[in-house]
Amino acid sequence: MRILIVEDSVLLREGLSRLLSDAGHEIVGALPDASRALQEVEDTDPDLAIVDVRLPPTFTDEGIHAALALRQQDSKLAVLVLSQYVEERYASDLIAQPGGAIGYLLKDRVTDVTEFLESIDRIREGATVLDPEVVAQLLTRRSRDEKLMRLTDRERAVLSLIAEGKSNGAISRLLFVSAGAVEKHITSIFSKLGLEQDDIGNRRVLAVLAHIDATSPQGPIVPGSQQNGSNR
């Protein structure tokens, strides 16, 4: 897979480049900021862009706006966001935006190289891969939504695992329930959320989170807003 990296930390940027190259991927570019990201994508045609949220010069939201712009420029481009903290407003924007596969992982929680490389492969295959903490904050932020409140605790657990990209079989094993019970929970979830019952794939994950976002009582998400003044 052809990969573009946009990361200001030279150690992490070089480390990712070496790790992914050793795993058989081709690094088509490794940038310290987002100023040339759009042009680099146009010149190199990567399959995946790995982007830090907070980049020079202000270390606020340059990276996330670059990720949004990249997906607008190339609808097929997959994007993996790496961040120090959960920027749930930005995560909602990315997930709701049409485009290629999406991932959002927290740097400090990426502790297993094999799992990280597997996440890269899953994104390449079209899956949505979200850190569980990102999912938890997305769902908590919208906990007052009337439709979401209709879900049982078990249905919320199933929905969270779907959003993490887990298969029905994986959900069954993690929750210690039968595959049939998982299917019933999923049918109930989408019925309560008023979503069409079709395949349980990447589009279903995006549809669920986009729907929850659109009906949030806190109103639409405003790009560029900051959260708690946290650092990268």
- Tell me the per-residue pLDDT of 126-181, one tens digit each, with 9 for 90 and over: 888 888 887 777 766 555 456 677 888 898 888 888 777 788 899 999 999 999 99
Instruction: Compute the average pLDDT of residues 173-193.
Output: 88
Contact, 139 vs 164, CB < 8 A? no
* SS3 of 98-165: CCCCEEEEEHHHCCCHHHHHHHHHHHHCCCCEECHHHHHHHHHHCCCCCCHHHCCHHHHHHHHHHHCC
Is residue 10 predicted with pLDDT exceeding 80?
yes
Query: For the whole model, what pTM was predicted?
Result: 0.65
Average pLDDT over residues 91-99: 75
pLDDT digits (tens, 9 = 90+) for 16-31: 999 999 999 999 999 9
207 pLDDT higher than 60: no
pLDDT on residue 213: 55
Is the pLDDT at 215 greater than 70? The verdict is: no
CA pseudo-torsion sign 195, 196, 199, 203: negative
